[in-house]
Amino acid sequence: MDLKDNSMELKDLILSEEAGEEYGLGAQTNHTFSNETNLQVNQIFSNKKELKLSLDVAAMRNSIDYVMLKSRGKFLKVNHHHREYLYLFYTVAKAYSPEEFSNHFVEFKHYCPEVAFFLEHELGFEKWSRVHFPGNRFDVITKNFTESMNAILIAKREYPVASIFNSIAKRFGEIFREARAYVLKYEDNKFVPTTKKILRDNMSEGDFFYMENVSRDERKFTVFGSGCMTKVDLLERSCSYRKFDQVKIPCDHAMTALRLNHGDDYGLRVYDYSSLVYKVEEYLLAYSESINVVPLESE
């Protein structure tokens, strides 16, 4: 572990059939933190949970970030030894168009060839890339919910099962109440604040684009700007850049088309072209459900 750049380099964590459930840790050398968290070369853990717990503890105590990816029984560390290129990975993962994805992935592959090989040939683009995902996807999930729950419940793992479930119910109840209280502050608005900000930003960016409507079709437009040409179909709520299709609210290209189609009042029409999932009332419904504790066996 390199404490100077807060990175952890763990080579390969391989599940050995001969060794049963034992897991090996390949590290640079023997490393001991000031709080006595110790990781050694070729250290053997009795199972994956013990290994993962040790890594979690080291990460939390020393502000270390790491990601563990599993494929075909092998654990590959996509660690932050290359953390200066982590932004590039997120840029690739969140690309909307195939062209944008290809351009950024070529650059990412140049700096991190081993990680790029794993992401392309072992994991597959469709598992982590927005543009290659086969279905509709609003955004890229960057958090592992399972591990987030493990972190929340790390001190409660020795509790009885009923107590563990009640701890989960209590925590989710708190999250739901906090989220609902936050949304209630904006119940007089049509959309939640985050979405409204995205719409405002898209409107501002769309003001700088140039547009043509050669076919005189009131729903299809060709938008020019930022060095590219994009086709927008308002009826289908889509654009060739695919951001409108995936995010389900008018992108900057669509805003340009709406401005031509509806004039100065186009800002009031953006809600008609946006998904209902962004409405305040939909959020309130989502957080209105009750979360109950597990009853005792005697009950």
Range with the poorest average pLDDT among 74-83, 128-137, 217-226, 252-261: 74-83
Q: Which among 86, 281, 285 is positioned nearest to 78, based on CA atoms?
A: 86
Judged by DSSP in three states, 76 sits in: strand
Sign for the CA dihedral angle at 256, 262, 268, 271 comes to negative
How is residue 169 written in tokens?
């119910």
In this predicted model, what pLDDT tens digit does every residue of 59-84 receive, in sequence order? 544 444 444 444 433 334 444 455 67
Give the pTM. Answer: 0.60
* Rounded CA separation 71/120 (Å): 12
Q: What is the pLDDT at residue 127?
A: 85
In this predicted model, what pLDDT tens digit does every residue of 87-126 receive, in sequence order? 888 899 889 889 999 999 999 999 989 889 988 998 899 8
* Element of type H or E holding 72: none
How is residue 283 written in tokens?
């959020």
Q: Quick check: 101 and 108 in contact, CB under 8 A?
A: no
Q: Quick check: 293 and 170 in contact, CB under 8 A?
A: yes
Q: What is the pLDDT at residue 196?
A: 92
Please count the other Cβ atoms lying within 10 Å of the Cβ belonging to residue 144.
12
Confidence label for 213 from pLDDT (cuts 50, 70 and 90): confident
Q: Which among 123, 58, 119, 41 is positioned nearest to 85, based on CA atoms?
A: 119
